[in-house]
């Protein structure tokens, strides 16, 4: 299946330039985020801390996935730009808090000092809180004057809140902390990563598809795609923590082993982990197999997830 699928996907994507696409979307997202921060913040220390983490050179995968899903089903990427920015704010808040001494105690993030190192621990906590609340301020204000879309936007807010909340990303982080120093099985590891990393990725894709007015079939297939690339993303993160280049990644490697975390490489080994990630990506690609070339960005991003170096 793998070779057959890869051949068909490559044929569909012969003319698609992923690097140019990612560069263009990142620039679009960065401009929008910069504009939001300029309009909503002031010269306070917490605003500076928010900008420090939010405007670092991130991959912007979640907002790009949201925009790509919307366009794939016939919507316009610009129609979901504000949702995309909100998703990146939620992701960045989670990174700020992940890096704190009470959790991963990291000094570097995206090649820059982490928020609590650049400022202080209290400011970092508040900057994360501020980004989370700003995200929902943005989400809840987009369609205040358009009652026709109110239900759709309420559904989007609900999906994102669940993904970011105590039954989603936060629960995944709790499980991650509890697993340090304890060997867990593959099923528990997959559940943990599906919550910690996968939940917000899935929300990014499903909200983009919903706002793009995707059909039931399109949304169902995109959900399958999202679940698989969400887990693949974390598997590759685990692998990069073992054999990645700190200069490229912008953060330290080897930290999972130091903290005695259960990871795919620690349970399966490096090679089997890579094979597992490839199988997940093939499953994701298969979910899009019968759709047209509007889905090419999503196909290419699936390949990018397992080929990335940071």
pLDDT for the residue numbered 102: 93
Q: Is the pTM of this model over 0.85?
A: yes
Helix residue spans in 41-149 (DSSP H): 45-54, 61-72, 81-98, 115-118, 121-141
pLDDT band at residue 11 using 50, 70 and 90 as cut-offs: very low
> Is the pLDDT reported for residue 10 higher than 60?
no
Higher pLDDT, residue 252 or 80: 80
Do 164 and 180 form a contact (C-beta atoms < 8 A)? no
pLDDT tens per residue across span 32-75: 998 898 876 566 899 999 999 999 878 999 999 999 999 999 99
pLDDT for the residue numbered 145: 64
Q: What percent of the chain has pLDDT over 90?
A: 73
pLDDT band at residue 14 using 50, 70 and 90 as cut-offs: low
Work out the burial of residue 85: count CB atoms within 10 Å of its CB; fewer than 13 is exposed, 13-18 middle, 19 or more buried: buried
Q: What percent of the chain has pLDDT over 70?
A: 93
Helix residue spans in the chain (DSSP H): 2-12, 18-40, 45-54, 61-72, 81-98, 115-118, 121-141, 150-164, 169-179, 186-193, 199-211, 216-243, 246-249, 255-258, 264-268, 270-287, 296-307
Mean pLDDT (the chain, rounded)? 90
Record: fold of 2-307: Farnesyl Diphosphate Synthase (1.10.600)
Higher pLDDT, residue 147 or 31: 31
């Amino acid at each position: 299946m793998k070779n057959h699928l890869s051949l068909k996907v490559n044929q569909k994507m012969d003319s698609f330039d992923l690097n140019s696409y990612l560069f263009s979307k990142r620039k679009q997202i960065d401009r929008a985020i910069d504009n939001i921060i300029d309009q909503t913040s002031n010269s306070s220390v917490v605003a500076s801390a928010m900008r420090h983490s939010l405007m670092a050179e991130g991959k912007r995968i979640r907002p790009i996935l949201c925009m790509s899903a919307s366009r794939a089903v016939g919507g316009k990427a610009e129609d979901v730009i504000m949702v995309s920015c909100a998703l990146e704010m939620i992701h960045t808040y989670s990174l700020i808090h992940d890096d704190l001494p009470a959790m991963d105690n990291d000094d570097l993030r995206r090649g820059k000092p982490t928020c609590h190192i650049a400022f202080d621990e209290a400011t970092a906590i508040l900057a994360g809180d501020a980004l989370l609340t700003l995200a929902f301020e943005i989400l809840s204000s987009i369609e205040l004057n358009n009652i026709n879309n109110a239900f759709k936007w309420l559904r989007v807010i609900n999906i994102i809140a669940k993904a970011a909340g105590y039954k989603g990303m936060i629960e995944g982080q709790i499980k991650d902390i509890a697993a340090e120093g304890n060997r867990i099985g593959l099923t528990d590891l997959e559940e943990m990563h599906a919550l910690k990393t996968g939940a917000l990725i899935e929300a990014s894709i499903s909200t983009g598809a919903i706002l793009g007015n995707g059909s039931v079939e399109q949304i169902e297939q995109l959900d399958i795609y999202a679940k698989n690339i969400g887990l693949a993303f974390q598997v590759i993160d685990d692998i990069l923590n073992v054999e990645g280049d700190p200069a490229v990644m912008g953060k330290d490697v080897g930290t999972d082993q130091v903290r005695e975390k259960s990871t795919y490489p620690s349970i399966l080994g490096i090679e089997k982990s890579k094979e597992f990630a490839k199988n997940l990506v093939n499953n994701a690609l298969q979910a899009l197999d019968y759709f047209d070339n509007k889905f090419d960005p999503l196909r290419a991003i699936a390949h990018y997830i397992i080929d990335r170096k940071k």
